[in-house]
Amino acid sequence: MSATSLADLQAQVQAHVLAGGELAVNDVVSVVPGGGARGLGIYRHAYRARLLETLRDSFGHTLMYLGDEWFDALSADFIEQHPSALANLRWYGAAYPDWLARRLDQADDLGDHPEVAELARLDWAMRSAFDGPDARVLALTDLAALAPEAWATVVFNPHPTLALLSLRCNTLGLWHALDQDAEVPAAEVLPSAMAVVVWRFEERPHFRSASPMEAVALQALLQTHSFAETCALLSARFPDEDTAPLAGGFLRRWIEEGLLSSM
C-alpha cells in the first residue's frame, strides 16, 4: 500500500468514525480483509463511548441532577455536533455548558432549564481549578513589604485558577444538595444574578459567592487594573458606600484565601 493510499484510508476511517459516511465504509471495507464494516462499527461506538465517559467524568453534578438517561441523551447530541478536536480529552467538553444553554432554551419539549447549563459551568470551573496551573500564593508579609509610594500603581495578579461566574439560578443550593446526597430543591431564578468565585487553594478546588461590590473588584482584578484603579472604580459604581475600607477588606481576604499569586 502506498503512502498516499494509506493516508486516504486513514482519512476515510476517521470520516466514518466521526460522521458515519457510507462512502468511507465501502471504500475501507474493500481493502480491509475479514469484515472491515464490523470493525469500523466497533471503532465508531468506542469513540463515542469514550467521549461520553469523558463528559460524565467532567460534569458529575450535572449528571447527578439530570440522571443517566437525560444526561446521556443530551451528551449524545453534543458528541455528534462536537467531535473531539484535541488529542488530550481533558479539554473535551469546554463547549458543553454553552451548548446546553442553547439546547435547553431552544427545545420546547424539554422546557427551559437554565440551571442545567449553570451546573455544567460550575462543574467545568471546578475541574479546571483542580488541574489548573500551579503558582505561588501571595502572603500578607508580601503586602507588608510594599513601599507606600507603590500603592498608586501596584497590580495584584490573580491565581491562574481563579474564575468568576455569574449565576442567575439557585445553582449553589442545587450543587450543595447533590454533593451531600440531600433532597434537591426546586430550581428557581434568583431576583438578581449571583457572582461565584472558583479557585484552587491548598491543592483543592473551592467556590463561594461574592457580593456585587466584590464581584466588580474581582472583575477589575482579572482585567489587570491596578489596586488604585479598582478603588476608584468601586467608588464610582457604589457612591453611597465607603468603599476604601471595603476594598482593603477584599484584598486581605483574597490573600488569606489564596486568590492572588503575585504583584
pTM: 0.84
Cell reading at 52: 461520553
**Average pLDDT score, the chain:** 87
Q: What is the pLDDT of residues 105-127, one digit of tens each?
A: 765 555 679 999 999 999 999 99
133-263 folds as Outer Surface Protein A; domain 3 (3.90.930)
Contact 221, 208 (CB under 8 A): no
Residue 259 has pLDDT above 70, yes or no: yes
Interval 214-250: pLDDT, tens: 999 999 999 999 999 999 999 999 999 999 999 999 9
Place of cell 479598582: 230
Which whole-number Å values give the CA distances from 84 to 31, 42, 51, 81, 169, in the listed order? 27, 18, 8, 10, 30
Distance CA 93, CA 207 (A): 20
Domain ranges of the chain: 133-263
